[in-house]
Amino acid sequence: MISVVAATYNGEKYILEQIQSIYNQTVEADEVIICDDCSTDATVRVVNDFIAKNKCSNWRVVQNGNNQGYCFNFYRGINESKGNIIFLSDQDDVWLPQKIEKMTAAMADSTIMALSSRYIVIDKDGNEIKDSGIPYLGSVFDNSIEDISVDSQIGCSWVRGFSMCFRSEIKQYMMPLDFKSLLSHDWYISMLSALIGRSCFLNTVLTKYRYHESNVSLSAMNRKTLTGTTNGKRITGLNESIAGHTALYNGIFPNMTQDNKTEICRFIKLEGKRKKYLQYGDFFLWLSLIIYMSEYKRYYKSLRGGFRVWIGDLVYRMKK
């Protein structure tokens, strides 16, 4: 059984195009759940009108009683789903017609717990952006399957939920962790999948990712280093990162190796030192963190990225 879980919040501008692309799939989903997080615009009306017009008896709208935030909105939809393969959908992207067909075919390999497709980036008008600046888009599009390691995801959320499907077995491992900064539910699901079985990319473009200023995921991506964020945001991000990685470190997973635990522990300690500096402003503590630059480079994917995080902490603390 295939489930699609879409999370919406004030998405009336693009939601019709998104749900139309889900409806147009060459393989139909067995259920589509649209979980709305107290939209104040016409999102729910647009979706309900579409369901009624197209007689989508296997579609339903779930409305939260109060605003949950995007992570918990997705969690609710996931918990409501009954499928053994669950696709996630944002409210403003576009699925290519063979997305469900091709991804479920790849999921015939029972070792794959989560699968993400490649995607192109479009602007608010649907035009492709050739050089979007979004990292990790990939450059191989040959229908191959590429593993995503645990280590490559430590401290880094670069798997996009809108491109993902995963097995329902993941749900038994999921804790109600709330992410509002760089990490998110998609990072969590992909990491759990890699620790339980395999998390993979299907090197085929199957989604158009809409790139505009109101994207929740885009806002996080543009804050890669959290430099210049308002008071509290940087520490909030560190708290979420530490909590997420600690939950993984303390969990019991079939594929968790000692090397995984060691690397996750090292990352938690580094984030803890950064948090201590941001809280107390000990300049010498910040200066001493330069000796961890090789770890900064690893966790933030480049020397430049790691250096920006290190300098960003100083700038952030000076603004307080």
Over residues 224-239, the pLDDT tens digits come to 444 444 446 889 999 9
Mean pLDDT on 145-157 = 92
Number of C-beta neighbours around residue 93 at 10 A? 23
Residues in contact with 24: Cβ distance below 8 Å, sequence separation at least 6, in sequence order: 95, 97
Confidence class for position 211, pLDDT limits 50, 70, 90: confident
Quick one: fold of 2-213? Spore Coat Polysaccharide Biosynthesis Protein SpsA; Chain A (3.90.550)
Q: 118 near 148, Cβ under 8 Å?
A: no
Q: For a pLDDT cut of 70, what percent of the chain falls above it?
A: 92
Match 């933030």 to its residue by tokens: 300
Long-range contacts at 297-300 (CB < 8 A, ≥ 24 apart): 299/154, 299/155, 299/156, 299/267, 299/270, 300/155, 300/156, 300/225
**CATH 3.90.550.10 domain range(s) in the chain:** 2-213
The predicted-structure confidence for 29-43, as pLDDT tens digits, reads as follows 999 999 999 999 999
pLDDT at position 135, please?
65
pLDDT at position 140, please?
79
pLDDT at position 224, please?
44
Spell 160-189 as b/e; 16+ CB within 10 A means b. Answer: bbbbbbbbeebeebeeebebbbbbbbbbbb
